[in-house]
């Protein structure tokens, strides 16, 4: 069956024509991980910061807070001295501080990581306050796929769930950045680096709500909520309420302009395209 990566929904601005162009036909390991060989520097920072937050949040119990504190201090040292600590080198992907324009990357890393780490720890604190007696008892799993076996995390999510999107029954593939676990509660959280806009926020919400919908189908025994962690949200995170509106993803002819137009195959012919043309690097 044809499939769609749920993360594509977060890039679509609700443009179903764009989503249709991203439907895939063969399975090529869509569950987590990322190809760093062709990433831009902004993407490299995004991937690096994701891995850093996952490194901290997946520590157990009281160790998590201590590691978060040390990482915060090390990030400050990185900003002031442009020097990475052993702990930061362990937390970031191999070679992160050795290739490309290092100075720029270190400053961008500090900017993104310090607030995202704070937002993640704020979410955890809010969960601990919400469920009395759960302090230091939440476990966090990273990169949990919704369509395959996750033997190391104790979940079996195969075979993939399907939904009717853009007029077609599609399998849904994807991987959740962080799953917070306590008793029968599961909080599915996505980490978002980069800038903020209301349009982006609606995209992120759609993505997380799809994950929640699929999780509820696969684990009827769980009470499930979604969350977004992003530096521009109040306290660095937001809870999501309400189910996904599947009708908003149904009309195959629905076109909505947005940043995704830059990479859309209809960008030159679409009436509502926001494609701004190829940027001129040199004036002739
Ligand atoms: S150009 Fe933009 S609005 Fe038009 S179909 Fe593509 S993504 Fe949608």
**Ligand 1 test: best mutation among 13, 15, 263, most atoms within 8 Å of CB?**
15
> How many whole angstroms separate alpha carbon 13 and alpha carbon 11?
6
Give me the pLDDT at residue 105, please. 85
User: Is residue 257 lining ligand 1, measured as CB closer than 6 Å?
Assistant: yes
**Ligand 1 test: best mutation among 166, 249, 261, most atoms within 8 Å of CB?**
261
Judge whether 165 and 18 are in contact, CB under 8 Å: no
Sign of CA dihedral 77, 93, 42, 143: negative
Give pLDDT tens digits for 132-152.
999 999 999 999 999 999 989
Q: Residue 190 pairs with which residues in a beta bridge?
A: 228
- 84 Cβ contact list (under 8 Å, min separation 6): 74, 78, 92, 97, 106
First to last CA, the chain: 49
* Ligand 1 centroid – CA 283 distance (Å): 28
User: Is residue 267 lining ligand 1, measured as CB closer than 6 Å?
Assistant: yes
DSSP-derived secondary structure for 64-89: HHHHHHHHHHHHHHHHHH----HHHH
| CB environment 216-235: b (16+ within 10 A), e (fewer) | eeeeeeeebbbbbbbbebee
**Ligand 1 test: best mutation among 10, 254, 265, 272, most atoms within 8 Å of CB?**
272
Q: Looking at ligand 1, which atom is closest to the CA of residue 17? A: 5
pTM of this prediction? Answer: 0.91
> How many whole angstroms separate alpha carbon 243 and alpha carbon 80?
44
Q: Which one of 2.60.120, 3.40.220, 1.25.40, 3.90.320 gives the CATH number of domain 3-263?
A: 3.90.320
* Ligand 1 centroid – CA 59 distance (Å): 42
Tokens in use for 210?
Answer: 């799809």
Tokens in use for 65?
Answer: 């807070």
User: Is residue 19 lining ligand 1, measured as CB closer than 6 Å?
Assistant: no
Give pLDDT tens digits for 167-225.
999 999 999 999 999 999 999 999 999 889 998 899 999 999 999 999 999 999 999 99
Residue nearest to atom 2 of ligand 1 (CA): 261
* Ligand 1 centroid – CA 274 distance (Å): 7
Q: Domain segments of the chain: what residues?
A: 3-263
* Ligand 1 centroid – CA 200 distance (Å): 16
Q: Looking at ligand 1, which atom is closest to the CA of residue 15? A: 8
* Ligand 1 centroid – CA 177 distance (Å): 27
User: What are the strands, taking DSSP E only, across 116-273?
Assistant: 139-145, 149-150, 155-156, 162-165, 168-173, 175-182, 185-192, 223-230, 237-240
User: Is residue 273 lining ligand 1, measured as CB closer than 6 Å?
Assistant: yes
Q: Looking at ligand 1, which atom is closest to the CA of residue 274? A: 2
**Residue pLDDT tens, the chain, 284 long:** 899 999 998 889 889 999 999 999 865 544 444 444 567 888 889 999 999 999 999 999 999 999 999 999 999 999 999 889 999 999 998 888 876 668 888 899 999 999 999 999 999 999 999 999 999 999 999 999 999 999 899 999 999 999 999 999 999 999 999 999 999 999 999 999 988 999 889 999 999 999 999 999 999 999 999 999 999 999 999 999 889 999 989 999 999 999 899 999 999 999 999 988 755 555 44
């Amino acid at each position: 069956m044809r499939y769609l990566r749920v993360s594509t929904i977060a890039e679509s601005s609700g443009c179903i024509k764009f989503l249709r162009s991203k439907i895939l036909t063969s399975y090529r390991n869509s569950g987590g991980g990322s190809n760093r060989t062709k990433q831009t520097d902004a993407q490299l920072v995004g991937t690096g910061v994701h891995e850093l937050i996952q490194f901290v949040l997946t520590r157990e119990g009281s160790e998590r807070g201590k590691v978060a504190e040390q990482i915060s201090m090390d990030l400050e040292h990185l900003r002031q001295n442009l020097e990475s600590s052993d702990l930061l080198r362990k937390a970031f992907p191999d070679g992160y501080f050795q290739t490309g324009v290092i100075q720029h990357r270190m400053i961008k890393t500090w900017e993104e990581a310090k607030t995202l780490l704070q937002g993640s720890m704020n979410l955890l604190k809010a969960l601990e306050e919400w469920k009395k007696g759960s302090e230091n008892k939440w476990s966090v799993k990273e990169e949990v796929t919704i369509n395959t076996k996750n033997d190391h995390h104790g979940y079996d999510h195969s075979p993939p769930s399907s939904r009717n999107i853009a007029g077609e029954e599609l399998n849904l593939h994807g991987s959740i950045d962080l799953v917070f676990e306590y008793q029968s509660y599961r909080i599915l959280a996505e980490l978002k680096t980069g800038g903020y806009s209301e349009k982006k926020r609606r995209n992120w919400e759609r993505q997380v709500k799809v994950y929640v919908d699929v999780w509820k189908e696969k684990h009827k025994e769980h009470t499930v909520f979604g969350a977004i962690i992003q530096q521009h949200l109040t306290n660095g995170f937001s809870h999501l309420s309400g189910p996904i509106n599947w009708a908003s993803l149904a009309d195959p002819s629905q076109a909505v302009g947005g940043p995704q137009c830059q990479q859309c195959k209809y960008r030159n012919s679409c009436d509502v395209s926001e494609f701004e043309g190829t940027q001129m690097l040199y004036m002739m």
